[in-house]
Amino acid sequence: MSFIKLICPRCSMVFHSALRPSATRIDCPMCGRVFGVPAIAQGFCTQSDSPLWFYTQGSETLGPVSVGQLHHLAAVGRLRPGDLVRRDGTRRWRRAGSIRGLFAKDWGLVGSP
pLDDT at 2: 52
Q: pTM for the whole thing? A: 0.52
12 residue type, one letter: S
Distance CA 75, CA 81 (A): 11
**SS3 (DSSP) at 52:** strand
Burial of 89 from C-beta contacts in 10 A (0-12 / 13-18 / 19+): exposed
**Each residue's pLDDT tens digit, 37-88:** 665 554 444 444 467 888 998 888 988 888 888 888 888 888 999 999 999 8
Return the domain boundaries, the chain: 2-106
